[in-house]
Amino acid sequence: MHLRYDVMQWPMITVLVSHRHRVMYTPIAKNANTTYKRLFVELSGHPSSEVLLDGDVHVNLLAQPTGLVLADYTPEHAAAILGNANYFHFTLLRNPLERAVSGYLDKFVRSPVRKNPNNRNHLVIQDALDWVYEHRGEPVDHERLITFREFVDYLEQVPDTALDTHFKAQSAYLVHQNIDFISTTENQQPLLAELEQRFGRHIEVEHFNRTAGPQHGEYGNDAADLLPARIRAKRGLPKPSELLVPDLAERLRKRFARDFELWSEAKAKGTG
């Protein structure tokens, strides 16, 4: 797919905007962003809403200009919109530990991985595979993939500027943005109440693209060291607590310290 924007303008180019309602939304990968992108498109009342919601909303929003994403504007115009204090700007944060687990399970365990360089999931995880296998001193093994522990090694050592958007720190999405309402995925009701007022209609959220699966207690304390094939061979996914053994949880807390601060502040304010 041909991209219409300079990737150096990330994350500004990912922001959704409804000029009619004067609302902006900064989507963050793994933070219910599929659900809220679809919701935003629907609430916007855009003439092409039905087409945009037919299939992959992420791809459809970038396939042609609609005026709903800042990627559709010149950098100067997008910056002016982003800095407009008359627009209500919101986002959602998530427990950083659970987000890391979700990113790993979704991209390395649940999603099919192919060696085709044009495969979407291949593009998401390839840098992580390259990094891990370089440090293992081995050629990349697309069948073996990596364990959760190796994934944490990668997150810990690689800066946000080099990470795929699914794995970047949440705080990286908020650079140079004035967010009016920071919600959390754990408590979305205050945000939904605010959006109902802004869009003037009742809102019911249908969740999409959850990292779901029957979770059970058949995993021991070695879950973080199991390869994806071993996890898939079981009857369900491990619980976050089964992957987040103490040493890995502590390392992730340090790596995403700013995310924890922002997430905790939103919870304390009652907005999330």
pLDDT tens-digit map of 17-39: 999 999 999 999 999 999 999 99
Output the pTM of the full model.
Answer: 0.91
Domain boundaries, the chain: 7-95+168-199, 99-166+214-256
Which residues of the chain are modeled with pLDDT < 50? 1-5, 7-8
Which of 72, 71, 73, 97 lies closest to 11 in space, CA to CA? 71
pLDDT of res. 118: 58
pLDDT of res. 235: 79
Q: Is the peptide bond before 11 cis (omega within 30 degrees of 0)?
A: yes
pLDDT of res. 1: 34
pLDDT in tens, 44-69: 999 999 999 999 999 999 898 999 99
pLDDT of res. 4: 47
Who's near 113: CB < 8 A, 6+ residues apart?
119, 121, 122, 125, 142, 145
pLDDT of res. 19: 97
pLDDT of res. 32: 95
pLDDT of res. 115: 57
pLDDT of res. 220: 84
